[in-house]
Structure 1
Amino acid sequence: MNKEFKTVKESQVTISELMLPSHSNFNGKIHGGYVLSLLDQIAFACASKHSGEYCVTASVDTVDFLRPIDIGELVTMKASVNYVGNTSMVIGIRVEAENIQTGDVKHCNSSYITMVAKDKNGDSVKIPGLILEDENEKRRFLKSVKRIKIKRHRSDEFNETDFSSEKYLEEFSSYRVQIV
């Protein structure tokens, strides 16, 4: 059932999981790699729900770890399609952790992941457009457009720059490096 346009709400996904000791790092906090795995899973679910197709991760654009997550907290991830192109979409994810004894909730992570819809042959396929229904959805869409432009500009700048070390000898002096 592939529509020409879908609302943001039609593709939203929420998952919750209790954080266990097996998810923790050596510091007793939930391992960032485990959180990244959950982010990729919910991005896949949200993108596939929007596109009606199998989706793959094209890039992890932003992952901001804002606060640590403790063992025993209930982590809830909320994913929405923030932007759509022809075959790709940007999935915005908010991660909150709740202390289930006190009810205190903290915002722990915000992430943006670009997903691409694929057919059975692995070719990219056109996805439905996005119906923006409120100011928040419009703001998220426009922020995604800005992030995409910044990403392209950064990529162009890196590709056009000659990083020959002799051109940057003076710059090395401002960093904690030794040139041998």
Structure 2
Amino acid sequence: MNILEGLNPEQEKAVKHFQGPLLILAGAGSGKTRVLTHRIAFLINEYRVKPWNILALTFTNKAAGEMRERVQSLLAEQADDIWVSTFHSTCVRILRRNIESLGYSRSFTIYDGDDQKTLMREIIKFLNLDPKKYKERTFMNAISSAKDELVSPEEYEKMAMGDHQKELYARAYREYER
């Protein structure tokens, strides 16, 4: 199969590109996935790039599945060593492999927004706080800000001393992490 067959001149130029980064901007249905999958095949077949050195990321599971199928049809067994995935699943895969170096177990769970709110409601009750007065979103924002600044629950507790509201957030943060 000729990898360049059926491509228009702009698509062919993108598929053949090798040195440096490449940005493809095009509207829906214009052939972006076709260009990307053919480019992957071209990199492997023409430039001898090893399949395990290729990472193809997209946003949705549907798009990743489509890309994976197309790469498979172009490359057969060579496609098995290419990472074709969503950003989220790739990040989870990397974390699962390396999370222990951060002091966490590989059996971690990623909570979505609803899970976080449910857990924070339980923590507010556990801390004997009035859920009508203390909203989970406020606590989640405080914890998120601390995490953005790479502040651990222990550090947050020290920083919160003397500030009643922050001391509550610190207690919730500790429980949230536990």
For the aligned pair, the TM-score class normalised by the smaller chain equals under 0.3
Report the TM-score, using the length of structure 1 for normalisation: 0.24
Superposition TM-score, scaled by structure 2 size: 0.25
